[in-house]
């Protein structure tokens, strides 16, 4: 029996990178996957990948999937995504908050308007997503919310992130605190909330920024994150909640 058989899983940022890898991998484990992202067609000069192509890849791997366009910075899009999922697939068991609008700027060059926009898209969206999905999860007896974080959220990390990642680090740190603070409130409804640090993953964005000649030997491919997320996706009505865990330590340090 496939471990996620018939689970309905929403993966945001599913057009490429970690999100695409999770959609394919979770679909292969039996999940019915909702692939959500802004990208429905490739733009000249943009990164490769669309949610339609991800759906094709999920199906080619033996899974079931649908594509729903969603801009995580637009509240109406988020609500429509949840409503469409329930209408098309009958329920929503797992929400994987993977999408994030990349923000990179030196503090000296950044503006308050850019900061506000990043917090609106990358932090406020978490609140909006959970507000939209919790009533459905509560009505069906539980669910799992998985927030994809980053080692950049670790305030004690050494070496520190290079200059330019201030806003990114703060947004990911907020995601982790949001997860741990929300978990005890949702636990009575059978809903778990966990944050996962995927480790260094070679994605289309990372490749564009660092180049193909970069030493990728210590980096993972997106499919390496699937086992940890699959475990968290099964944590419905359990006490495994409020955790911040690292996928590179799955099967060793945790669970």
CATH for 111: 3.40.50.720
**Model-wide pTM > 0.85:** yes
Q: State the pLDDT at residue 70.
A: 97
Catalytic residue among 129, 165, 168, 231: 168
Cα gap 114→102, rounded to integer Å: 11
Q: State the pLDDT at residue 155.
A: 76
Cis peptide before 159 (omega within 30 of 0): yes
Determine, yes or no, domain membership for 255: no
Determine, yes or no, domain membership for 217: yes
Q: In the annotation, is 6 catalytic?
A: no
Cα gap 10→23, rounded to integer Å: 8
Determine, yes or no, domain membership for 73: yes
pLDDT over threshold 90, residue 103? no
If you count DSSP H runs as helices and E runs as strands, how many of each does the chain have, helices first?
8, 7
Q: Quote the number of domains for the chain.
A: 1
From 191, 202, 200, select the one nearest 232 (Cα to Cα).
Answer: 191
What range does the domain containing 99 cover?
8-249
Determine, yes or no, domain membership for 2: no
Residue 66 β-bridge partners: 34
Beta strand extents in 181-240 (DSSP E only): 191-197
- The whole-chain average pLDDT of the chain stands at 93
Determine, yes or no, domain membership for 38: yes
140 — pLDDT class (breaks 50, 70, 90): very high
Q: State the pLDDT at residue 146.
A: 98
pLDDT over threshold 80, residue 14? yes
From 143, 130, 34, 58, select the one nearest 94 (Cα to Cα).
Answer: 143
């Amino acid at each position: 029996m496939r471990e996620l058989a018939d689970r309905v899983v929403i993966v945001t940022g599913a057009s490429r990178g970690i999100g695409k890898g999770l959609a394919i991998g979770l679909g292969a484990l039996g999940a019915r996957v909702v692939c959500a992202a802004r990208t429905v067609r490739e733009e000249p000069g943009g990164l490769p990948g669309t949610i339609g192509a991800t759906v094709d890849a999920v199906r080619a791997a033996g899974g079931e999937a649908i594509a729903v366009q969603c801009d995580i910075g637009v509240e109406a899009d988020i609500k429509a995504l949840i409503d469409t999922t329930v209408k098309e697939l009958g329920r929503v068991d797992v929400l994987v908050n993977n999408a994030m609008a990349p923000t990179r700027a030196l503090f000296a060059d950044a503006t308050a308007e850019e900061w506000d926009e990043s917090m609106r898209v990358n932090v406020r969206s978490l609140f909006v997503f959970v507000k939209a999905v919790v009533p459905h999860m509560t009505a069906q007896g539980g669910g799992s919310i998985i927030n994809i974080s980053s080692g950049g959220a670790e305030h004690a990390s050494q070496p520190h992130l290079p200059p330019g990642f201030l806003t990114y680090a703060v947004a990911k740190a907020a995601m982790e605190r949001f997860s741990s603070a929300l978990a005890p409130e949702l636990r009575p409804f059978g809903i778990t909330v966990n944050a996962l640090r995927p480790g260094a993953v070679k994605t289309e964005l990372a490749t564009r920024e660092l180049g193909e000649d970069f030493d990728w030997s210590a980096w993972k491919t997106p499919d390496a994150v699937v086992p940890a997320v699959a475990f968290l996706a099964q944590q419905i009505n359990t006490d495994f909640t409020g955790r911040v865990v690292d996928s590179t330590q799955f099967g060793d340090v945790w669970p």
